[in-house]
């Protein structure tokens, strides 16, 4: 048999594999490591790494910062005696609820600046609802 047997090093082997093959190999390897008696769970390590890469905590904080800004701006408009439609109040009250829930669940998040504004918005809402004096689109 005159065929040549060539020895391939790891780099050459990896170069010949496509991305799909590599993905399958990585998934199988991680799964085998997870099943083995070693107390390492590569999936949780991968999840932690991915969360850090995506900065999910920072994204949540940024979303809550934006909610807080909307709440403060809306309260400023109320203090300037600007009128709002009921649907605008409903939208800002949803922001208030989500913001307050987030603050309760995330003790490390700085909050003290929005409490007074939220309370004021809720007071004005209750008055307008009681008197039915929200801004409307109707011509009077």
**Structural domain span for residue 110:** 56-131
Residue 3 counted as domain residue: no
What's the mean per-residue pLDDT of the chain?
A: 81
* Residue 46 binned pLDDT confidence (cut-offs 50, 70, 90): confident
pLDDT at 68 over 70: yes
If asked whether residues 63 and 111 sit together in one domain, one would say yes
| Contact indicator for 103, 109 with CB cutoff of 8 Å | yes
CA 122 to chain centre: 26
Residue 66 shares a structural domain with residue 116: yes
How crowded is residue 92: how many other Cβ atoms within 10 Å of its Cβ?
24
Mean of pLDDT values over 86-97: 96
Is 97 in the same domain as 31?
no
Average pLDDT over residues 102-114: 83
Number of domain units in the chain = 2
The pLDDT assigned to 113 comes to 80
Same domain for 49 and 76, yes or no, is no
Structural domain contains residue 67: yes
Q: Is residue 137 part of a domain?
A: no
Task: Give the ranges where the chain is alpha helix by DSSP (H).
Answer: 10-16, 19-35, 42-54, 56-79, 86-105, 115-131
**Residue at which a domain ends, from 19, 35, 54:** 54
Instruction: Check residues 117 and 108 and name the one with the higher pLDDT.
Output: 117
Question: Tell me, what's the pLDDT at 38?
Answer: 56
Q: Specify the pTM.
A: 0.61
What's residue 23's pLDDT? Answer: 72
> Any idea how long the chain is?
140
Q: What pLDDT, on a 0 to 100 scale, did the predictor assign at position 108?
A: 79
Contacts of 41 (CB under 8 A, 6+ apart): 34
């Amino acid at each position: 048999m005159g065929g040549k047997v060539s020895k391939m090093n790891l780099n050459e082997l990896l170069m010949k594999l496509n991305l799909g093959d590599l993905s399958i190999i990585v998934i199988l390897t991680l799964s085998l490591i997870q099943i083995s008696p070693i107390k390492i769970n590569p999936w949780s390590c991968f999840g932690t790494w991915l969360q850090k890469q995506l900065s999910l905590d920072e994204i949540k904080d940024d979303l809550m910062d934006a909610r807080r800004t909307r709440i403060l701006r809306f309260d400023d408009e109320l203090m300037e005696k600007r009128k709002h439609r009921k649907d605008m109040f409903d939208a800002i009250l949803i922001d208030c609820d989500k913001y307050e829930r987030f603050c309760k669940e995330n003790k490390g998040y700085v909050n003290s600046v929005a409490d007074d504004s939220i309370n004021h918005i809720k007071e004005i809402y209750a008055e307008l609802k009681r008197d039915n004096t929200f801004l409307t689109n109707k011509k009077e």
